[in-house]
């Protein structure tokens, strides 16, 4: 994905400013999506519904790009065949906005009678903002929570976290110590598994640190809070509370499903509930839910993966396009979990009934979730300095001098931003 995003940015820089659509009718819009298979069928059903409700005022057509999405999307933009609307994830909002590829939606939202910025969870709408403007309509939120194996906890005699009460990272690590190395179902187990996921922000925030200031201009990576947070990650590795990165032999969710780890930090969309029902009866276990542990200030900071639908700057009738975009977004809120706007928690009970036991934790996660403070240079900063310069070296060698890695990564980020 990082290589794909790099190619995307090179294509965009050379062709984005000249992008425009072809000679389609001004009331006909195309939306690009990465949906495929069953998801695409569901997506098309929503588009059809929105078109029918529009009664000919506008028509939305689907453009499915199930593979190499960002590369193909950027190629279309550079070739002056930009789709009217397209999905992008939060880390690319600033880049597309800076290049002039997408429309500032701030005024449209302020004047809307159906969907305002205040309707969204704070952490969600911030993921679509850059330079105090809103550039997309988020249609989904997927914050991290902690899934845990209640059956294993009980068998090992370990106290379980509650769904929403604060537990600190120190308590998470102490719980991990009580689990790791114990025998369960004739196997030695670990507390959890980390292999680049959860992302490094989770650990930076765990100590009260951060990467960039809210304006994306000041590097905060080498703060004492960041060093304490990365220290939590290093402790898990150095004390053998989690499998070594170089020894991980299958996807981390499989470790949890095979009951080789007791806890799993994943998004609320992870479908362990369904997978457990498909297991042989002897292998099934009771699932528990807890919030991401709190930082030193007492705040849980679950990372929130979000996606927004944005409007291409090449759209002719932007007023009508926004009307169509808003109608489509509102329809999405009844499709996926979790709807990113407040007051829709009950929708989850209808969309995904098997998530009902998790609702208190999901509600807490949505209220506290956040994204990083992004900049137009985020892709490069993240790949070069957060991943290659910091996270990956720690994964490969937990005994490395991580303080030195942090200091060097921060210095390199400052130099990059200054350039």
The Cα–Cα gap between 134 and 103 comes to 9
CB-based contact 366:85 (threshold 8 Å): no
2-7's contacts with Cβ under 8 Å and 24+ in sequence apart are: 2/379, 2/382, 2/383, 2/387, 4/68, 4/69, 4/70, 4/71, 5/70, 5/92, 5/379, 5/383, 6/379, 6/380, 6/383, 7/70, 7/71, 7/74
Q: What is the pTM of this model?
A: 0.92
The Cα–Cα gap between 233 and 241 comes to 10
- Residue 346 burial (C-beta neighbours within 10 Å; 0-12, 13-18, 19+): exposed
The predicted pLDDT at position 343 comes to 94
Q: Express each pLDDT in 103-126 by its tens digit.
A: 999 999 999 999 999 999 999 999
The predicted pLDDT at position 80 comes to 84
CB-based contact 366:338 (threshold 8 Å): yes
Q: Express each pLDDT in 312-324 by its tens digit.
A: 999 999 999 999 9
358 and 343 in a common domain: yes
CB-based contact 85:29 (threshold 8 Å): yes
E strand intervals along 286-369: 287-290, 304-311
Residue 55 domain flag: yes
246 and 124 in a common domain: no
157 and 270 in a common domain: yes
Which residues are CB-neighbours of 326 under 8 A, at least 6 positions away? Answer: 108, 112, 114, 115, 137
Q: State the pairing for strand pair 287-290/137-149.
A: antiparallel
310 and 166 in a common domain: no
Residue 169 domain flag: yes
Residue 40 domain flag: yes
281 and 396 in a common domain: yes
Mean local confidence (pLDDT), 269-285: 97
209 and 294 in a common domain: yes
Q: In this model, does residue 166 exceed pLDDT 70?
A: yes
CB-based contact 332:266 (threshold 8 Å): no
DSSP character for 88? Answer: E
Residue 156 domain flag: yes
Measured CA distances, 1 to 68, 254, 267, 305 (Å): 9, 22, 19, 15
Structurally, the chain folds into a number of domains equal to 2
267 and 200 in a common domain: yes
Q: What is the CATH number of the domain that holds 348?
A: 3.40.190.10
Q: In this model, does residue 305 exceed pLDDT 90?
A: yes
E strand intervals along 11-51: 28-33
The predicted pLDDT at position 7 comes to 47
The predicted pLDDT at position 24 comes to 76
390 and 359 in a common domain: no
Q: Which of 200, 340, 180 is nearest to 260 (CA)?
A: 180
Q: How confident is the model at residue 419 (pLDDT cuts 50, 70, 90)?
A: confident
Q: How confident is the model at residue 418 (pLDDT cuts 50, 70, 90)?
A: confident
The predicted pLDDT at position 357 comes to 97
The predicted pLDDT at position 22 comes to 55
The Cα–Cα gap between 78 and 96 comes to 13
- Residue 1 burial (C-beta neighbours within 10 Å; 0-12, 13-18, 19+): exposed
344 and 265 in a common domain: no
Q: Helices (H) and strands (E) in the chain — how many of each?
A: 18, 11
Phi, psi (rounded to 5 degrees) for 110 = -65, -30
Which residues are CB-neighbours of 175 under 8 A, at least 6 positions away? Answer: 158, 159, 161, 191, 263
132 and 44 in a common domain: yes
Residue 167 domain flag: yes
Residue 114: other Cβ atoms inside 10 A:
11
Residue 371 domain flag: no
Judged by average pLDDT, the poorest of 2-11, 177-186, 220-229, 265-274 is: 2-11
Structural domain ending residue among the three candidates 343, 366, 389: 366
Structural domain ending residue among the three candidates 348, 366, 384: 366
Residue 319 domain flag: yes
94 and 183 in a common domain: no
Mean local confidence (pLDDT), 137-144: 98
Residue 274 domain flag: yes
The predicted pLDDT at position 414 comes to 97
pLDDT, averaged across the chain: 94
The Cα–Cα gap between 323 and 376 comes to 28
Q: How confident is the model at residue 21 (pLDDT cuts 50, 70, 90)?
A: very low
Residue 205 structural domain:
143-302+376-418
The predicted pLDDT at position 311 comes to 98
Q: Express each pLDDT in 211-231 by its tens digit.
A: 999 999 999 999 999 999 999
236 and 158 in a common domain: yes
């Amino acid at each position: 994905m990082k290589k794909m995003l790099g190619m995307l940015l090179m294509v965009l820089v050379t062709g984005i400013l000249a992008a425009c659509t072809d000679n389609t009718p001004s009331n006909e819009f195309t939306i690009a999506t990465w949906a495929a298979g069953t998801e695409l069928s569901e997506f098309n059903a929503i588009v059809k519904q929105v078109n029918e409700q529009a009664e000919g005022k506008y028509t939305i057509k689907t453009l499915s790009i199930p593979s190499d999405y960002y590369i193909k999307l950027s190629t279309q933009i550079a070739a002056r065949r930009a789709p009217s609307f397209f999905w992008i994830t939060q880390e690319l909002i600033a880049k597309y906005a800076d290049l002039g590829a997408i429309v500032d939606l701030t005024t449209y939202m302020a004047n809307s009678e159906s969907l305002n910025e205040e309707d969204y969870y704070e952490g969600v709408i911030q993921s679509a903002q850059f330079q105090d403007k809103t550039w997309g309509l988020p249609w989904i939120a997927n914050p991290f929570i902690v899934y845990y194996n209640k059956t294993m906890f009980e068998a090992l005699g370990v106290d379980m976290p509650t769904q929403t009460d604060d537990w600190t990272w120190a308590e998470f690590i102490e719980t991990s110590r009580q689990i790791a190395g114990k025998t369960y179902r004739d196997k030695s187990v670990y507390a959890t598994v980390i292999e680049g996921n959860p992302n490094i922000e989770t650990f930076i925030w765990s100590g009260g640190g951060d990467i960039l200031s809210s304006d994306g201009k000041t590097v905060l990576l080498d703060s004492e809070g960041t060093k304490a947070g990365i220290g939590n990650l290093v402790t898990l590795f150095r004390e053998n509370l989690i499998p070594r990165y170089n020894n991980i032999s299958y996807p981390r969710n499989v470790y949890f499903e095979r009951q080789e780890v007791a806890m799993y930090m994943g998004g609320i969309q992870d479908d362990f509930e369904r997978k457990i029902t498909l297991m042989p009866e002897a292998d099934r276990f009771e699932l528990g839910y807890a919030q991401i542990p709190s930082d030193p200030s007492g705040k849980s900071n679950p990372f929130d993966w979000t996606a927004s639908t944005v409007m291409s700057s090449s759209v002719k009738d932007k007023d009508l396009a926004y009307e169509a975009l808003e109608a489509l977004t509102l329809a999405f809120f009844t499709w996926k979990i979790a709807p990113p706007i407040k007051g829709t928690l009950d929708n989850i009970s209808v969309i995904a009934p098997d998530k009902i036991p998790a609702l208190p934790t999901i509600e807490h996660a949505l209220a506290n979730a956040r994204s990083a403070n992004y900049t137009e240079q985020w892709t490069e900063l993240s790949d070069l300095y957060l991943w290659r310069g910091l996270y990956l070296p720690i994964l490969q060698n937990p005994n490395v001098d991580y303080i030195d890695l942090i200091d060097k990564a921060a210095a390199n980020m400052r130099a990059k931003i200054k350039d």
